[in-house]
Amino acid sequence: MHHFSYVGNNLHCESVDLATVAQLYGTPTYVYSAATLADNYTRLAKGLSGIDLQICYAMKANSNLAILRHFANLGAAFDLVSGGEIRRVLAAGADVKRSVFAGVGKTEPEIKLALENEVFAFHVESEPELARINHVAGKLGVKAPIAIRINPDVDAHTHAKITTGKSDNKFGIPLKFAAAAYEAAAKFPNIAIKGVQMHIGSQLTDVNPFVEAVSKVAPFVAELKAKYGITYFSIGGGIGIVYKDALASGQQSWWDNQPADKRPLTPEVYGAALLPLLKPLGLKILLEPGRNLVGNAGVLLSRVEYLKRGNGRNFLIVDAAMNDLVRPAMYESYHEIVPLHRDTTRPALVADIVGPICESGDCFAKERQLQQVGEGEYIAFMSGGAYGYAMASRYNTRGTAAEVLVKGSTFELVNARESFETIIANEKIPAFLK
Number of structural domains found in the chain: 2
Whether 28 is covered by a domain: the verdict is no
Instruction: Read off the amino acid at residue 17.
Output: D
Residue 289 annotated as part of some ligand binding site = yes
Is the CB of residue 296 less than 8 Å from the CB of residue 249?
Answer: yes
The pLDDT score that the predictor gives to residue 1 is 84
Residue 132 annotated as part of some ligand binding site = no
The pLDDT score that the predictor gives to residue 263 is 84
Question: What is the C-alpha to C-alpha distance for residues 351 and 235, in angstroms, rounded to an integer?
Answer: 42
Whether 93 and 217 map to the same domain: the answer is yes
The pLDDT score that the predictor gives to residue 380 is 98
Whether 21 is covered by a domain: the verdict is no
Helix (H, G, I), strand (E, B) or coil at 84: helix
Is the CB of residue 204 less than 8 Å from the CB of residue 210?
Answer: yes
Whether 278 and 370 map to the same domain: the answer is no
Q: Which residues contact 428 (CB under 8 A, 6 or more apart)?
A: none
Residue 290 annotated as part of some ligand binding site = yes
Question: What is the C-alpha to C-alpha distance for residues 179 and 375, in angstroms, rounded to an integer?
Answer: 62
Q: Which residues contact 143 (CB under 8 A, 6 or more apart)?
A: 137, 190, 191, 192
Tell me which H or E stretch contains 285: strand 284-287
Domain of 82, CATH number, reads 3.20.20.10
Task: Please give the DSSP secondary-structure letter assigned to residue 239.
Answer: B
Domain boundary among 291, 319, 340: 291
Range of the domain at 134: 34-291
Domain boundary among 232, 266, 291: 291
Whether 220 and 360 map to the same domain: the answer is no
* C-alpha count within 13 angstroms, C-beta hemisphere, residue 348: 5
The pLDDT score that the predictor gives to residue 158 is 47
Is the CB of residue 185 less than 8 Å from the CB of residue 123?
Answer: no
Is the CB of residue 21 less than 8 Å from the CB of residue 411?
Answer: yes
Domain boundary among 257, 275, 291: 291
Instruction: Read off the amino acid at residue 407.
Output: K
Say how far residue 352 (Cα) sits from the centre of its chain.
27
Residue 103 annotated as part of some ligand binding site = no
What are the b/e assignments for 403-425, b being 16+ CB within 10 Å?
Answer: bbbbbeeebeebbebeeeeeeee
Whether 80 and 214 map to the same domain: the answer is yes
Question: What is the C-alpha to C-alpha distance for residues 427 and 224, in angstroms, rounded to an integer?
Answer: 51
Whether 29 is covered by a domain: the verdict is no
Active-site residue list: 358
Q: Which residue, among 341, 384, 342, 394, has the nearest Cα to 364 in the 3D structure? A: 384
Question: What is the C-alpha to C-alpha distance for residues 4 and 32, in angstroms, rounded to an integer?
Answer: 10
Whether 83 and 219 map to the same domain: the answer is yes
Note the residue count of the chain.
434
Residue 327 annotated as part of some ligand binding site = yes
Is the CB of residue 292 less than 8 Å from the CB of residue 239?
Answer: yes
Residue 331 annotated as part of some ligand binding site = yes
The pLDDT score that the predictor gives to residue 320 is 98
Whether 233 and 310 map to the same domain: the answer is no
Whether 164 and 183 map to the same domain: the answer is yes
Whether 103 is covered by a domain: the verdict is yes
**Tens-digit pLDDT string for the chain (434 aa):** 899 999 999 999 999 999 999 999 999 999 999 999 999 999 999 999 999 999 999 999 999 999 999 999 999 999 999 999 999 999 999 989 999 999 999 999 999 999 999 999 999 999 999 999 999 999 999 999 999 999 887 754 544 444 443 444 556 798 889 999 999 999 999 999 999 999 988 899 999 999 999 999 999 999 999 999 999 999 999 999 999 999 999 998 898 888 887 888 999 999 999 999 999 999 999 999 999 999 999 999 999 999 999 888 999 999 999 999 999 999 999 999 999 999 999 999 999 999 999 999 999 999 999 999 999 999 999 999 999 999 999 999 999 999 999 999 999 999 999 999 999 999 999 999 99
Strand order in the sheet with 4-7: 4-7, 10-13, 16-17
Whether 315 and 384 map to the same domain: the answer is yes
The pLDDT score that the predictor gives to residue 169 is 52
Question: What is the C-alpha to C-alpha distance for residues 126 and 145, in angstroms, rounded to an integer?
Answer: 15
Whether 99 and 244 map to the same domain: the answer is yes
Whether 229 and 348 map to the same domain: the answer is no
Whether 61 is covered by a domain: the verdict is yes
The pLDDT score that the predictor gives to residue 166 is 42
Whether 118 is covered by a domain: the verdict is yes
Whether 281 and 317 map to the same domain: the answer is no
Q: Which residues contact 173 (CB under 8 A, 6 or more apart)?
A: 125, 126, 127, 148, 149, 150, 151, 181
Helix (H, G, I), strand (E, B) or coil at 221: helix
Domain of 393, CATH number, reads 2.40.37.10
Whether 8 is covered by a domain: the verdict is no
Residue 376 annotated as part of some ligand binding site = no
Question: What is the C-alpha to C-alpha distance for residues 266 and 1, in angstroms, rounded to an integer?
Answer: 10
Whether 141 is covered by a domain: the verdict is yes
Whether 326 and 216 map to the same domain: the answer is no
The pLDDT score that the predictor gives to residue 259 is 87
Is the CB of residue 198 less than 8 Å from the CB of residue 150?
Answer: yes
Residue 268 annotated as part of some ligand binding site = no
Is the CB of residue 233 less than 8 Å from the CB of residue 281?
Answer: yes
